Amino acid sequence: MGYRIFLAGGSGAIGRRLVPQLLEAGHQVTATTRRAAKAAELRALGADAVVVDVFDAAGLCAAVAAARPEIVIHQLTDLPPGLDPALMGEAVVANARIRNEGTRNLVEAAKAAGARRLIAQSIAWVYAPGPEPHAETDPLDSGAEGGRGISVGGVIALERQVLEAPMTGMVLRYGHLYGPGTGADSAADPALHVDAAAYAALLAVERGSQGAFNIAEPNAHVTTDKAIHELGWRADFRLAA
């Protein structure tokens, strides 16, 4: 049985790999982008495309309402191409704003539309120092300072809003992405291929209970047993060429 899905951030690295998986599974997908030029790319993939800015709360609410989604997927980020080090200082602040204010707007829109499940992108390298590998129940690094403190603060805000929403909230704590559209052919641990990241979101549409899930290739820093057992996730998943 297919669901009506609203994918916020459809033109991002994960979004572009997720849309084909959702459509092949029989779901109806409305995907967002901030740029009209990218809407055509989403339509070419088979999604209904909508141009909207997550900071435009009224516009976002209208877009979600029109899609009537049963499930909302949050894959929004604001990061420079290839994670350009010269631009990352500014991007850290912008990305934290999306995770806080943007998530708040998306949660409110999902609530108003009557969505029953919300799946959101988080990251797996924000745990507080302590014994490794980290499980999902370990505390996040709320005492971090500087740029890391900004990032962790954004993550904490995002996760709190998703997990406190009046629907099934699921947080996917992704490893460092590599693969098509990421600008990287490999990544530091915990690493994660973009196709496997998208696959976790696909699985979360129909599986898994409320809570956080570490999503990464085998590594010494975080354990992914929960995602493997509860979602049936595989780190080696790849889209057909």
In a structure prediction context, what are the per-residue pLDDT tens digits for the chain, which is 241 residues long? 799 999 999 999 999 999 999 999 999 999 999 999 999 999 999 999 999 999 999 999 999 999 999 999 999 987 655 555 554 556 788 999 999 999 999 999 999 999 999 999 999 999 999 999 999 999 999 999 999 999 999 999 999 999 999 999 999 999 999 999 998 999 999 999 999 999 999 999 999 999 999 999 999 999 999 999 999 999 999 998 6
Tokens of 67: 């899609």
Query: Which H or E run contains 225?
Result: helix 225-226
* Domains defined along the chain, listed by start: 4-231 (3.40.50.720)
Q: Are 166 and 179 in contact (CB under 8 A)?
A: no
For residue 108, the tally of other CB atoms under 10 A from its CB is 16
Entry pTM = 0.95
